Structure 1
Amino acid sequence: MTDTPPVPTEHTVPSLPRRHVLVGGAGAGLVAATSPMLWVPPAAAAARPRGVHLVYGDNARTSMTVSWSTPRSVAKSRLEIGPDRGLGLRVPVRSRSTKDLRTVYHHGTVEGLEPGTRYRYRITHRGAGATTGTFTTAPARAERFRFAAFGDMGVNAAAAAHVQLIDAMKPDLSFVVGDLCYADSAGGTGAGGDTSQDFAEWDRWLRQIETSAARVPWMTTVGNHEMEEGNGELGYAGYLDRFRNPRNGVKGAPVTYSFVYGNVAFIALDGNDASFEISRNEGYLGAAQDQWLERRLERFRARDDIDFIVVGFHNCMYCTNLVHASDGGNRTRWEPLFDRYSVDLVVNGHNHCYERTHPLRAGEPVVEARRGAVVDSRKGTTYLTAGGAGQAVYPTSGAPVSYVVMDGGVRVPETTHWSAVTDNQHSIGFVDVVPRRGDRPARMNLTALATDGTVIDKVTLKRGR
């Protein structure tokens, strides 16, 4: 917009020595850098930071990014972090504008933190009161923890209720598999053009999730609705304006990354690169994502301190729901790798429902896993569709015959003997991770809850040595 004040070029966030963070007290820590000075008209100066959200840095044990927005450019945007009320460290802030809005997004990344440690943070800018919060870094070793898993949220009453449910369940992190706010309702299909876009929806969504995301990281992936028309070659510019993911993903794909929390390795993929159903970004990475994925899987599976590998991306590998069903592109490229490296759980969205498969190898069930089952995840990968986080639920699932979308968008019918549990309600998945102790195997206890807290599904994935 021509009347938007110019925003300075992004500032690089350097690695900060750990000793700076650990010194408490006012003025005790060294100021690593000054935040960018942004011109602000007096009327906007009093606007408090909003949409605060956390994302792990390159190492979840020692790094965190705090992000927030202001309605327009502000002066002296500042982030301070420390182990006590004295804070002690001023963190460099990068600020950037975005398409069609005056909103400015601010990101501060701090390195050199202590594992498993609670920190305070404070966000300020000239003319506004402070916004404060806390976060805790990932632990140095395996311990019990909980993560939420879901996708397809949007901004609506069901989504707001789910944020309350997530708050009540107190997960240590959320793993969110795309279709976050639906600012572009066309979803990469090209239908509707600019008439289907409302980029202010991003701000509404970030405010909606703030009670949770300002306390625990929301680790997100892109879905087809993050392919926003006119927002960069791939459509991801709007997403990247608002999120600073770990920088350890595929070269040329900052929407991909991995991190480790306790005894679980998480891998975030770009399902749009492999999708046959919605082909807007199909193949843009060539073989790079598959090669990176295999290197990560090989490395994680070789580590003695990692029991479980959880992979998340938007498009469904296995789902009976007749709206989108299953995507053969993702299956063709990634299922052999998941089988080879014994991936324990794959989390997808896209279909607005809940569905869980039996553990699979080469597309075939290797063991039955009905509600309440305890299964050995070394035998097969469980595929979870957790797309019921808020958007209108899809009416059908669990059909004995569904289809898989193959190259060129061709729908090929298939029997669905791999499906274990289906449910069409809005829901959120929660996974409680228990480390191995002596001869007792590590466990992931998956519970799916409807909006009112009713249990939809339970299953335990165990993994011994």
Structure 2
Amino acid sequence: EWFQFKTAPATDKPFSFIYLGDAQNDIRSKWSRVIRKAFTTHGDARFIIHAGDLINRSNNDNEWGEWHFGGGFINGMIPSIPSSGNHEYFRDEQRTLTLDPHWQAQYTLPENGPERLKESVYYIDYSNVRVISLNSQMIVLDSTSLKLQAKWLEEVLKNNPKKWTMITYHHPIYSTAKGRDNKEFRELFKPLFDKYHVDLLLQGHDHTYSRGQNLPFGTSGKVGGPMYVVSVAGPKMYKVDVNPKWMDVFAEDTQLFQIISVNGDDLNYTAYKASGEVFDQFKLKKTSKNKAAEFTDLRKNK
């Protein structure tokens, strides 16, 4: 079987990529349709961001087999940029939560993260974009590693030559599902996102869809700042907590995929249902890496 792929351009050129939330359950039977529809919608995507919980039971070879079967030849043609979620961890013989050994065995990831978190925390540069992957599971496991991660992130953001900055991780800064709130993660990382004008935060975990700007005190408005997105690709669903005021758009019981296109000063974002129907759409415009991007809502039915 032939696999074709494209290397990154030597100069800044327009490109697109796919962003997927949790796959986790019924991967072969129900998640596969989402990644395949994403590919048929935009087969020229240069990479796919997976925001954690790619499988349900870590250290389970059969589930990883389902994940690779579901993606099929797509995984052989389009590089994956995965973030580890809570379901990528398992309890070893000492009952210690440990990153699934399948992780490093099947993903070749940059080793530019903190020493204790290599290949679960890293960044890549592609064209005029810096993509950073964080390990938010440290909220649960190790507050020291979480702080180490924040220190590393500030250096990566401070020395970032790229115009656009996107960060992906599993646990949302602002949760969308009922009864969830990642306060420690938010208090430690949100100031860095604001200070260094991060453009887009791509998250998972809450098995819903929501999108909103990062605004003072988490309230809704149009003053600019990072755009937070939570999405889900697999069939496992939770109910949305509709009380948080930061959400401009939300959905529940809906499998989605997202196509994000970058062209110079412009970033276009489109969220699609598994059927291919457009669900959410917006544009960001950024003339300088040292200031927040301008937001335009492109939804036809607001």
Cross-structure match for 1:333: 188
Q: Which residue of the partner structure matches residue 357 of structure 1? A: 212
Does the 8 Å contact 1:445/1:461 carry over to 2?
A: yes
User: Where do 5+ consecutive residues of structure 1 fail to align?
Assistant: 1-130, 185-196, 369-378, 401-415, 436-441
Higher strand share: 1
Given the alignment of the two structures, is residue 235 of structure 1 paired with residue 102 of structure 2, yes or no? no
Does the residue aligned with 1:139 lie in a helix, a strand or coil?
coil
Give the counterpart of 1:344 among 190, 199, 208: 199
Q: CA deviation digits over 1:120-172, x for unaligned, max 9?
A: xxxxxxxxxxx542221111222111111122113143311012112112221
Shift of 1:241: 2.4
- For normalisation by structure 1, the TM-score amounts to 0.57
Please, which runs of 5 or more residues in structure 2 have no aligned partner?
Answer: 289-302
Q: Which residue of 1 aligns with 2:148?
A: 288
Task: Look up the match of 1:312.
Answer: 168
Q: Which residue of 1 aligns with 2:125?
A: 260
Aligned to 1:157: 29
Q: Distance in 2 between matches of 1:312 and 1:225?
A: 16
Mapped pair 1:200 → 2:62: yes
- Is 1:139 paired with 2:9? yes
Q: 1:298 aligns with which of 148, 155, 158?
A: 158
1:231–1:458: structure 2 CA closer, same or farther, 3 Å change rule? Answer: farther
Structure whose residues are more often helix by fraction = 2
| 2:21 maps to 1:166 | no
Structure 1 distance, partners of 2:155, 2:93, is: 31
What does 1:59-458 correspond to in 2, within 5 Å? 131-154=1-24, 155-168=27-40, 169-170=42-43, 171-184=45-58, 198-230=60-92, 234-236=97-99, 237-254=101-118, 255-273=120-138, 275=139, 279=140, 281-285=141-145, 287-300=147-160, 303=161, 306-322=162-178, 325-361=180-216, 363-367=218-222, 379-386=224-231, 388-394=232-238, 396-397=239-240, 399-400=242-243, 416-424=244-252, 425-435=254-264, 442-458=265-281
Give yes or no for contact 1:151–1:349 (8 Å, CA) kept in 2: yes
Deviation at 1:392, TM superposition (A): 1.4
Task: Provide the TM-score with structure 2 as the length reference.
Answer: 0.87
1:178-217 Cα shifts (integer Å, max 9, x gaps): 1001124xxxxxxxxxxxx743211221122132111010
- Secondary structure (helix, strand or coil) at the match of 1:146 reads strand
Contact 1:228 1:238 in 2 (8 A): no
Sequence identity percentage: 25
Q: Larger relative contact order (C-alpha < 8 A, sep ≥ 6)?
A: 2
Q: Is the 8 A contact 1:223 1:315 kept in 2?
A: yes
Q: CA deviation at 1:307?
A: 1.6
Distance 1:226 1:164 in 2: 23
**Coordinate RMSD, CA, aligned:** 1.9
Query: Which amino acid in the other structure matches residue 34 of structure 2?
Result: H
- Distance of aligned partners of 1:156 and 1:206 in 2 relative to their CA distance in 1, 3 Å threshold: closer
State the SS of the aligned residue for 1:433: strand
The answer to whether the Cα contact below 8 Å between 1:364 and 1:418 also exists between their aligned partners in 2 is: yes
Partner residue in 1 for 2:294: none
Counterpart AA for 1:382: M
Amino acid in structure 2 at the alignment position of 1:354: Y
Question: Does the C-alpha gap of structure 1 residues 210 and 179 become closer, same or farther in structure 2, counting only changes over 3 Å?
Answer: same
Post-superposition Cα deviations, 1:341-400, rounded to whole Å, max 9, x if no partner, equal 0101111100111110134245344517xxxxxxxxxx31111001x2113122x21512
Q: List per-residue Cα deviations over 1:243-280 (Å, max 9, x = no partner).
A: 2211111111121110011111100000011x2xxx2x
- Secondary structure of the 1:287 match is helix
Tell me: CA distance 1:461–1:325, structure 2 relative to 1, closer, same or farther (3 Å).
farther
Question: Is the Cα contact below 8 Å between 2:28 and 2:67 reproduced in 1?
Answer: no
User: Does the alignment pair 1:459 with 2:282?
Assistant: yes
Amino acid corresponding to residue 381 of structure 1 in structure 2? P
Separation (CA, whole Å) in 1 of partners of 2:209 and 2:46: 22
| Matched letter for residue 325 of structure 1 | R
CA, structure 1 residues 261+287, in 2 after alignment: closer, same or farther (shift >3 Å)? Answer: same
Distance 1:253 1:339 in 2: 24
1:37-93 deviation digits (Å, cap 9, x = unpaired):
xxxxxxxxxxxxxxxxxxxxxxxxxxxxxxxxxxxxxxxxxxxxxxxxxxxxxxxxx
1:27-66 to 2 correspondences below 5 Å: none
* Partner Cα distance (1:360, 1:146) in 2: 27
Answer yes or no: is the 8 Å Cα contact 1:366–1:380 preserved in 2: no
Counterpart amino acid of 1:310?
A: M
Q: 1:36 aligns to what?
A: none
CA contact (8 A) 1:398 1:419 kept: no
